[in-house]
A and B are shown apart, each in its own frame.
Chain A
Amino acid sequence: MTDFYQTGIITTLHSLGKPSLERLESELTDFSKTRPIALVLPALYSEFEGPAMPGIVRELAKVRYLNEIVLVLDKASEKQFQGVRDFMSPIATPVRIIHNDGKRITEIYETLSRNGLDVGQRGKGRSAWLAYGYVLARERSEVIALHDCDIVNYSREMLARLCYPVANSNLDYVFCKGFYSRVTNKMHGRVTRLLVTPLVRALQQLIGQHRFLAFLDSFRYPLSGEFCMTIDVARVNRIPWDWGLEVGSLAEVYRNYSPRRVCQVDIAATYEHKHQELSAEDPEKGLMKMTIDICKSIFRTLASEGVVFSEGLFKSLSVAYLRLAEDTILKYEADASINGLEFDRHEEAKAVEAFTRAITQASKLFMENPMGTPLIPNWNRVTSAIPDILEMLKKAVDADNT
């Protein structure tokens, strides 16, 4: 159980007392009559061979308030696609599977490409974006929830808590981000703990109070992959297709909506999923690639807000970040100590050193090309270029699923 303290400029919905799942689901069933809910699941085929997916399907089979489930299946052959259809069959809610490698969806991507719409490389960002398009094309849901498919300790309470703030029209939230503690016998979530938070605070030190930094700092877990939003957010938001997906999505929400209509919700006491390798020496792999993309995304957003970056600022940033991150390690060491958790200070320090190098690398890349990775255009932009694209997408997915 957490405290009830409100931090930052967005609303934080805590897990207080013992909230009843039955009550939540019952209310969600009522809300879904006026605001039908779609669940988007971006998944790799390999995740169906792992330990997480059977548990997720088992839990989703018990959920009654969802209007539709859209699973975007990546890196799967035709046979594997059919296998996944069977795998998802225990779920009573209508499930549509978007076969990313199927000939119809491939042709959709080619249609976009030949009309000058760059939707980037394959990945969670592009999969999520395509799923939003399909939900928009179906015109049957008003709320979209999204979570990853590698959650080992998944429970339907996570989904209920994630959907509740947006599905409940009395609360008037358009975007809700999930948060949780990533603790087993030790603390995980290195990128959030040791990179994002110290980096944002270092930037605040250098450039002063900035509303976007305050917005980003308000999130307890800005890199969590679980969120829920209204269909309008899905229509107008652009999505980065690289690892800057989470931060970039928050930047788009910040750009398009007031923080008053954004919240974060405690969805789980603990959360266990796959852990990325640090790969400190290779900036093209693992956490280093993720870190560079996240930094670039933050820099790009701030630059678009009018912040002027110079080489001097970046040099000071590296130093300020390092100092703050080192202080943060001490805080987490104390936190681990009082809770009896394992804490490898050397590993944490090595991670901070790697992240410092990543910030330097991201600064260099940003100075060379400030535009960086383009965002995937929003669906309003896409339909203005190809008016029938949503109809085509709907036809492609429906044909694949029959």
Chain B
Amino acid sequence: MTDFLNLILEPLQELFLRFKAFLPNLLAMLVIVIAGILLARLLRAVFVRFLKAINFDSWSDRMGMTTLLRKGDLWAKPALALGAIVFWALVIVVLMTGLSALKISAIDQLVAQFFMYLPRVFSAVLILIVGYVLAGFISRAMLIAAVNSGFHYAKLLAEAIRLLLTVLILAMVLEQLQVAPGIVLAAFSIIFGGIVAALAISFGVGGIEAAKRMIERETVEKRANGAKDDIEHI
């Protein structure tokens, strides 16, 4: 009977001992997570205040960043939206740090992978932001130049350039994040190559006559210039 009881109690005792050993880790994780979330909230408040002080919202409106949020049906102020992004990024970091305090090897590996992946995420976000601003700037500059030179389809051209640049930026971002890099590279090459090929064919085929006229005019002018040289003036 005692053996039978031991058979039941021993695993329970083992479980209790393990839990006793695990409890400090769990408490450490809870402390890290709670303190981390509080710190993240504080940092968010400071960060948002800083953004407001430098008129980030207004800058964002003029640079087209606000439009990006609105396109995603996000109607918070840009500073608050960025504050929320920073907050949740910090919460994820805090959660990962907290999980590492549990000292479970599987989780440790996951956490290590996560922290190794972070620089890629940062650079991808940077590419996205800089790329978006740059695409907007180039597209607007192209629109102004095309309108000033009387091009009828100026807006269409500007939008096409913005689209091409957006495709390029998204491909760069996905490549940076290592999301199916082979597929992204192939898809990008096909799409971008296809667009360039289509443009080359349309302009090439459509411009045969124009090119022919230009070459003929050039030749005629050269001949005329050559003939002029033969004339002797007094």
Contact residues of A with B, CB < 8 Å? Answer: 103-104, 107, 110-111, 114-115, 385-389, 391-392, 395-396, 399
Contact = CB atoms under 8 A, between A and B. Distances in A.
B71 A395 contact: yes
Contacts of B57: 111, 114
A395 B61 contact: no
Interface residues of B, number: 15
A396 B70 CA distance: 8
Given A114-B58, A386-B61, A387-B140, A392 B70 contact: yes
A104 B67 contact: no
B75 A388 contact: no
B77 to A, nearest CB: 7
Given A107-B75, A107-B77, A111-B61, 20 more contacts: A107-B76, A110-B77, A111-B57, A111-B66, A114-B57, A114-B61, A115-B58, A115-B61, A385-B62, A386-B61, A386-B62, A387-B62, A388-B61, A388-B67, A389-B61, A391-B67, A392-B70, A395-B71, A395-B73, A396-B75
Interface string B27-69: 0000000000000000000000000000101100110101100
Contacts of B58: 114-115
B70 A395 contact: yes
A227 to B, nearest CB: 30
A154 to B, nearest CB: 35
A111 B63 CA distance: 13
B77 A388 contact: no
A392 B62 contact: no
18 contacts: A103-B75, A104-B75, A107-B75, A107-B76, A110-B77, A111-B57, A111-B61, A114-B55, A114-B58, A115-B58, A385-B62, A386-B61, A387-B62, A388-B66, A392-B66, A395-B70, A395-B73, A399-B73
A396 B66 CA distance: 12
Nearest to B68: A388
Nearest to B61: A386
Contacts of A111: 57, 61, 66
Contacts of A114: 55, 57-58, 61
Contacts of A387: 62, 64, 140
Contacts of A110: 77
Contacts of A115: 58, 61-62
A115 B76 CA distance: 16
A26 to B, nearest CB: 33
Nearest to A389: B61
The 10 A-B pairs with the shortest beta carbon distances in the complex, nearest first, are A388-B67, A107-B75, A386-B61, A392-B70, A395-B70, A104-B75, A388-B64, A115-B58, A114-B58, A114-B57
A107 B67 CA distance: 12
Contacts of B73: 395, 399
A386 B55 CA distance: 14
Interface in B129-144: 140
A260 to B, nearest CB: 29
A156 to B, nearest CB: 36
Contacts of A392: 66-67, 70
Contacts of A388: 61, 64, 66-67
B73 to A, nearest CB: 6
A114 B71 CA distance: 20
A385 B67 CA distance: 14
Of B55, B61, B76, B140, most buried by chain A (CB within 10 Å of CB) is: B61
A387 B140 CA distance: 10
A14 to B, nearest CB: 42
A280 B55 CA distance: 46
B222 to A, nearest CB: 47
A103 B80 CA distance: 15
A104 B75 CA distance: 6
Contacts of A391: 67, 70
A103 B57 CA distance: 17
A235 to B, nearest CB: 16
A389 B64 CA distance: 9
A397 to B, nearest CB: 12
A274 B55 CA distance: 45
Nearest to B74: A107
Nearest to A385: B62
A392 B75 CA distance: 10
Nearest to A116: B58
A287 to B, nearest CB: 39
A392 B55 CA distance: 19
A389 B67 CA distance: 8
B51 to A, nearest CB: 12
A103 B70 CA distance: 12
A250 B220 CA distance: 61
B187 to A, nearest CB: 28
Contacts of B55: 114
Nearest to B67: A388
A327 to B, nearest CB: 55
Contacts of B76: 107
A392 B77 CA distance: 13
Contacts of A104: 75
A103 B75 CA distance: 8
B40 to A, nearest CB: 25
B184 to A, nearest CB: 28
B3 to A, nearest CB: 70
Nearest to B64: A388
A110 B76 CA distance: 11
Contacts of B75: 103-104, 107, 396
A57 B19 CA distance: 72
A103 B77 CA distance: 11
A160 to B, nearest CB: 33
Contacts of A385: 62
